[in-house]
Structure 1
Amino acid sequence: MALHGPRPASLLPLLLLLAAGLALSAGQNWNPLNDLFRKRHVDNPRSFDSATINDYCTKMMWRRALYGRHTNTFINAPPAVINNVCSTDGKVKGPYRYESNNSFDITVCIYNHFTLSYTGLRTNQKIVLSCWKGLPALYIKHMQPEGMMVP
């Protein structure tokens, strides 16, 4: 006897097909890597602004289903500004890699295995992204400001 009931996993291919159809009908290229990039790394306006930086990281990692990931960086800037790194506001630094001309407000969240929570660090630095079809696909790293010593 087969089990009956809701099967949300069976709806996933249909939802992906619908999203692709909507993007194509709007005249835009559909870039699933950019969708994943935005889920993992873009937070604008900054959520939980009144929370401490550690609470912000813990809540964001839960909200984005990234909890337990060792480290993650959130870019606190509008998606359109981040997208420009892949074109007019970035320098080519290798195949598919672009370094931002300007600094971004970022939040780096690092998982602490002993407390099972995150420690956060807010900073303003240039970023390096991997781009595909003119949109960010992967967050590569953030750059230390020139002249700053790293221990």
Structure 2
Amino acid sequence: MALHGPRPATLLPLLLLLAASLALSAGQNWNPLNNLFRKRHVDNPPSFGTATVNDYCTKMMWRRALYGRHTNTFINAPPEDINNVCGTGGLVKGPYRYESIATFPITVCIYNHFTLSYTGLRSTQKIVLSCWKRLPALYIKHL
């Protein structure tokens, strides 16, 4: 007897294939690592502009489904400027690693296990990214 009903495991590869073909037909590079990088590290313009830096971190970590992660850095600059680090705006510092020439406004969020909230630190620093297909894939560190 055959089973009837929805089969999400069968649909997932089809949806990924559809997303990839749509991105390629639109002339865009399909780079899932860049999508994840943007979710974890890019916030421009900075959300919660009037909130304190600690409130900003707590709210952003909840909003981006990163809550509980020990440390995360948000880059508060336009995505185009961040992407440029993987090209003419960066210096090669190893395989797939690029150090920015310019400085970027960043917010470092550090989880406090005692208060179950985040402490935020804002600064302007150079950043080091790992790039794939000329787009940021991983945030390595700030200098």
Deviation at 1:18, TM superposition (A): 2.6
Deviation at 1:9, TM superposition (A): 7.3
Structure 1 counterpart of 2:84, one-letter code: N
Partner of 1:146: none
Please, which runs of 5 or more residues in structure 1 have no aligned partner? 144-151
Provide the aligned C-alpha RMSD in A: 1.9
Cα distance 1:9–1:109, how it changes in 2: closer, same or farther (>3 A)? farther
Cα distance 1:14–1:118, how it changes in 2: closer, same or farther (>3 A)? farther
Partner of 1:29: 29
Cα distance 1:8–1:69, how it changes in 2: closer, same or farther (>3 A)? farther
Partner of 2:41: 41
Say how many residue pairs are matched: 141
Secondary structure of residue in 1 paired with 2:126:
strand
Secondary structure of residue in 1 paired with 2:68:
coil
Aligned: 1:109 with 2:109: yes
Partner of 2:83: 83
Q: TM-score with structure 2 length normalisation?
A: 0.91
Cα distance 1:12–1:110, how it changes in 2: closer, same or farther (>3 A)? farther
Measured in 1, the distance between the counterparts of 2:124 and 2:10 equals: 42
Partner of 1:71: 71
> Which consecutive aligned stretches of 4+ in structure 1 deviate over 4 angstroms post-superposition?
7-12
Cα distance 1:128–1:11, how it changes in 2: closer, same or farther (>3 A)? same
Deviation at 1:22, TM superposition (A): 1.4
Q: TM-score with structure 1 length normalisation?
A: 0.86
Aligned: 1:51 with 2:51: yes
Please, which runs of 5 or more residues in structure 2 have no aligned partner? none
Deviation at 1:19, TM superposition (A): 2.1
- Residues 26-63 of structure 1: CA distance to partner in whole angstroms, max 9, x if unpaired? 12221110000000000011111111100100000000
Cα distance 1:46–1:22, how it changes in 2: closer, same or farther (>3 A)? same
Measured in 2, the distance between the counterparts of 1:92 and 1:136 equals: 13
Query: Percentage identity across aligned positions?
Result: 84
